[in-house]
Amino acid sequence: MEKLPCILTIAGSDSGGGAGIQADLKTITMLGGYGASVITALTAQNTKAVTAIHAPSAKFVAQQFRTVLDDIEVDAAKTGMLFSEPIIKAIAPILNRKEFPLVVDPVCVATSGAKLLKDDAVKAMVSMIFPYADLLTPNLPEAEFFTGVKINDREDIFKAARLLLNMGPKAVLIKGGHSDSLAVTDWFVTKGGDPIPFMQQRVNTKCTHGTGCTLSAAIATGLGQGLKMGTAIMRAQEYLNLSLRAGYQLGEGGGPPNHLAPWIKEKAKGGVLFDLDSLGRRLSVMSGLLALLPRVRTNVAIALPYANNVSEVAGFSGGIIGSRRGDVVIAGYPEFGGSLYTASILLAARRLSPKLHCAMTIGLKPGVKKALDLAGIETVWIDRDRKPDYIKKENGGLEEWGTFEEFRNHKNPEDVRAVGDPGGVGCEPLVRIMAEDVLSLTAMLCRIVDSMGALANGL
């Protein structure tokens, strides 16, 4: 087996498992590294509070560090909670001899509000640790604390970054999670270089305990694997964003990101493809379905847990068509990325109604709109005339925009189960129906077919 890069975390222990050493080791492992540790402090901690802190002697912390380096080749490292001036003074001479990239997360305060850096350690942190950082990763409050700059806008961020660079680190990443913007923007700044924004969609969650630890550990892992700094930051952001979307309430306070999210997604792939194959078999023998198929080739879509792009949504490689003999034909085979337009609609809907798991496109034929009402399927309708000029019609852009807008404007988006598109020049009118699972989707199709029959018979 190929040797895993060793990533060393120098940080405090979180007994609640959400931050510190525990978050770092989970992150390093999930991203393909081997995690080693130097523990700077023990905390009695849960999701609500830090109730006590016990620090080992500075001599023992340094002994941990030297012992690891004496035997193990470290490919990258990160620091988190360093706690006290004596501990910083003990590890600084060892860092002076390092031959690996170092990410410094200047941890001052826990998510719960507990102080994790003693007052006497602030100057020591700046003078003895910052100069060894290949990347310094403060959040907005930490950037304000170390520079004295009140950050209100982007220019303030750039000013704080320049001041931090003057303290010795080679680069600074000021994290934007504490801002109130719709997207989270982390600003990467180097001496003499233009600030570079790294953006991710904001996740509406209370599970933010340990996000800084997770991000810095993920960046360090990427650097230890040989990734360039920008690539390591981008991958770390994507991992954290996924972990936040997969977060769950662990205790009574703010929970942590779900560090196992990539494994959960990977584990689900086989089941999604099996469900898609089973759905295809049901559709091919469903009575009355042929009448709902559009003239264009159609498809279905089933999303992985926490799917974020069409490559994580499965569909049939050749779509679904009606044959001249009147059969419903499943063309091709189940594959991820096999459905573009239906998948784009589903992903847009999941941003506001994440319990939706699968979708299918049907034709907006005479009677379908009434059948949807008769079947009790809450439907929204895309208004193509409101499309902004910057939204492209190609590759599902219009459908994705229209779906998100209609869901966002609906008083109860979690109740919506269909998105209608009246079409336009060269675009057939279509409806995308959505459900929590394959059985529910099949049942919805049957209700629509039955309603179409009832309308045809004047019932």
Question: What's the pLDDT tens digit per position in 310-362?
Answer: 999 999 999 999 888 888 999 999 999 999 999 999 999 999 999 999 999 99
Question: What's the pLDDT tens digit per position in 355-414?
Answer: 999 999 999 988 999 999 999 999 999 998 888 888 887 777 888 999 999 999 999 999
pLDDT given for residue 459 in this prediction:
59
pLDDT given for residue 324 in this prediction:
81
- 59 is written with which tokens? 């001599």
The mean pLDDT value for 150-170 works out to: 94
Choose the catalytic residue: 20, 35, 176, 210.
210
Contacts of 8 (CB under 8 A, 6+ apart): 35, 36, 37, 38, 68, 74, 76, 77, 78, 100
210 is catalytic: yes
The mean pLDDT value for 242-258 works out to: 90
pLDDT given for residue 115 in this prediction:
60
Residue bearing the bigger pLDDT, 14 or 192: 14
Task: Report the percentage of the chain scoring pLDDT > 90.
Answer: 76
Least confident of 53-67, 83-97, 172-186, 351-365: 172-186
Q: Is the dihedral of CA 349, 355, 359, 365 positive or negative?
A: negative
DSSP string, 349-373: HHTT-TT--EEEEEE--TTHHHHHH
Task: Report the percentage of the chain scoring pLDDT > 70.
Answer: 97
d(C-alpha 143, C-alpha 177), whole Å: 12
Instruction: Look over the chain and give the mean of its residue pLDDT values, rounded to a whole number.
Output: 92
pLDDT given for residue 416 in this prediction:
96
d(C-alpha 390, C-alpha 394), whole Å: 12
79 is catalytic: no
247 is catalytic: no
pLDDT given for residue 315 in this prediction:
97
d(C-alpha 322, C-alpha 284), whole Å: 10
342 is catalytic: no
- Side-chain half-sphere CA neighbours of 32 within 13 A: 15
pLDDT given for residue 328 in this prediction:
92
CA distances from 232 to 103, 137, 138 (A): 11, 13, 17
Residue bearing the bigger pLDDT, 163 or 207: 163
Contacts of 221 (CB under 8 A, 6+ apart): 5, 7, 27, 28, 31, 32, 33, 76, 232, 236
Q: Is the pLDDT of residue 113 over 70?
A: no
Q: Which DSSP category does 130 fall into?
A: G
**Residue pair 48/15 in contact by the 8 Å Cβ criterion:** no
Q: Is the pLDDT of residue 14 over 90?
A: yes
Q: How confident is the model at residue 110 (pLDDT cuts 50, 70, 90)?
A: low
213 is catalytic: yes
Choose the catalytic residue: 17, 78, 147, 213.
213
User: E strand or H helix at 229, and its extent?
Assistant: helix 229-245
Q: Look at residue 451 and give its three-state secondary structure.
A: helix
pLDDT given for residue 32 in this prediction:
96
Q: How confident is the model at residue 1 (pLDDT cuts 50, 70, 90)?
A: low
Q: How confident is the model at residue 250 (pLDDT cuts 50, 70, 90)?
A: confident
Choose the catalytic residue: 40, 47, 208, 442.
208
d(C-alpha 306, C-alpha 424), whole Å: 32
Q: Percent helix, strand, coil in the chain (nearest 5)?
A: 40, 20, 35
Q: How confident is the model at residue 114 (pLDDT cuts 50, 70, 90)?
A: low
Q: Is the pLDDT of residue 125 over 70?
A: yes
Q: How confident is the model at residue 111 (pLDDT cuts 50, 70, 90)?
A: low
- 196 is written with which tokens? 């570079």
The mean pLDDT value for 51-67 works out to: 96
Beta-sheet pairing, 379-381 with 418-421: parallel
Choose the catalytic residue: 9, 27, 111, 211.
211
211 is catalytic: yes
Domains of the chain: 6-259 (3.40.1190.20), 267-456 (3.40.225.10)
